[in-house]
């Protein structure tokens, strides 16, 4: 029997901001909450509305993952559309129960096979993996080949975030080594890394955003030097001044036309704030 393969991700992937023509990409959406007000990420609140609100209001939003029932319903709908297989590419399982929701949903559906990737990623970095998977489906690759490619992308990548106000990460419990680090954060900018387990950890700190940005670009430039083909990313929290400063610094090392720029979606922005910039790469060919 010929397989019909769907790619399923979640709204942390920034797939809404990455142009594509693939009809087999679907997503489950997380929820953003401002006190008692709940919004569906990317549906009932836009990225512009979200960042405008956290900029103007003294409030730290919370987030809620999709329920197992939400994921089951989505997979059942895909089955009705004739899909035989779903490759589920969610947010890093170290950061959310979204991965686990997919795992539990897999046990509750029949007559459709679900394959789950532990991406260890989020934002446009995750979205790019989704696009790569969809492209391989279009090329007729097997599920095993697609899963292997996704795993290789994870292994050959490195991503950092610079966060001007770490209170969002600490308040929402996403900074793995917050204890002992937070007390020294007055007037400094932490350099946050996605480690190999998909966790967010603080690896360094600088006195200013300018120094932190220079440090992270220097690190990444050294890592990608000599690689034949890479894809570089910049994710931002709609702080346009910080984005322009980042472009200016990156332009000294890389061709800006080769970089994917993407807003950080609201459900991720709730944990990093608006004055945040994410930089990183995939090595596509060594």
pLDDT in tens, 104-162: 999 999 999 999 999 999 999 999 999 999 999 999 999 999 999 999 999 999 999 99
DSSP 106-152: HTT--SSEEEE------HHHHHHHHHHHHHHHHTT--HHHHHHHHHH
pLDDT in tens, 79-104: 999 999 999 999 999 888 899 999 99
Three-state DSSP class for 221?
Answer: helix
**Which pairing describes strands 229-236 and 259-263: parallel, antiparallel, or unpaired?**
parallel
Q: Is 114 in contact with 105 (CB distance < 8 Å)?
A: yes
For 236-257, letters b (16+ CB in 10 Å) and e give: bbbbeebbeebeebbeeebeee
Residue 207 structural domain: 157-285
Three-state DSSP class for 210?
Answer: helix
**Which positions of the chain have pLDDT values less than 70?**
1, 170-187, 285-286
Largest CA-CA distance found in the chain, in angstroms, rounded: 61
- Examine the domain organization and report whether 138 and 174 are in the same domain: no
- Examine the domain organization and report whether 134 and 216 are in the same domain: no
Q: Which of 102, 135, 155 is the last residue of a domain?
A: 155
- Phi, psi (5° rounding) for residue 231? -120, 120
pLDDT at 59: 86
Three-state DSSP class for 191?
Answer: strand
pLDDT at 201: 86
Q: Which of 155, 179, 199 is the last residue of a domain?
A: 155
Distance from CA of residue 1 to its chain's centroid? 34
Q: Which of 155, 172, 193 is the last residue of a domain?
A: 155
- Examine the domain organization and report whether 133 and 225 are in the same domain: no
d(CA 181, CA 175): 10
pTM of the model: 0.93
Which residues, including other chains, have CB under 8 Å from residue 213's CB and lie 6 or more apart?
Answer: 162, 245, 246, 249, 277
Number of domains making up the chain: 2
CATH number at residue 214: 3.30.1180.10
For 262-276, letters b (16+ CB in 10 Å) and e give: bbbbbbbbbbbbbbb
pLDDT at 233: 97
Q: Is 126 in contact with 180 (CB distance < 8 Å)?
A: no
- Examine the domain organization and report whether 137 and 181 are in the same domain: no
- Examine the domain organization and report whether 228 and 259 are in the same domain: yes
């Amino acid at each position: 029997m010929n397989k019909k393969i769907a790619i399923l991700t979640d709204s942390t992937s920034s797939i809404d901001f990455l142009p594509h023509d693939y009809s087999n990409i679907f997503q489950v959406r997380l929820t953003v909450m401002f006190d008692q007000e709940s919004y569906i990420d990317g549906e009932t609140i836009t990225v512009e509305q979200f960042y405008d609100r956290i900029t103007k209001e003294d409030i730290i939003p919370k987030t809620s993952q999709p329920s197992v029932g939400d994921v089951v319903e989505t997979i059942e709908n895909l089955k009705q559309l004739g899909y035989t297989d779903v490759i589920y590419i969610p947010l890093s399982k170290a950061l959310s129960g979204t991965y686990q929701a997919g795992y539990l949903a897999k046990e509750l559906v029949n007559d459709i096979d679900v394959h789950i990737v532990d991406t260890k990623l989020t934002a446009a970095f995750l979205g790019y993996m989704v696009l790569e998977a969809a492209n391989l489906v279009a090329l007729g690759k097997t599920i095993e080949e697609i899963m292997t490619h996704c795993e290789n992308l994870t292994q050959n990548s490195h991503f950092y975030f610079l966060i001007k106000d770490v209170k969002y990460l600490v308040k929402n419990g996403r900074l793995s080594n917050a204890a002992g680090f937070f007390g020294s954060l007055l007037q400094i900018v932490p350099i946050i890394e996605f480690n190999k387990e998909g966790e967010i950890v603080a690896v360094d700190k600088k006195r200013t955003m300018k120094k932190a940005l220079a440090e992270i670009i220097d690190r990444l430039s050294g890592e990608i030097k000599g690689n034949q083909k890479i894809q570089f990313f910049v994710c931002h929290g709609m702080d346009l001044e910080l984005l322009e400063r980042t472009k200016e610094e990156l332009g000294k090392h890389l061709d800006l036309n080769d970089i994917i720029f993407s807003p950080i979606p609201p459900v991720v922005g709730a944990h990093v704030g608006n004055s945040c910039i994410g930089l990183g790469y995939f090595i596509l060919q060594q």
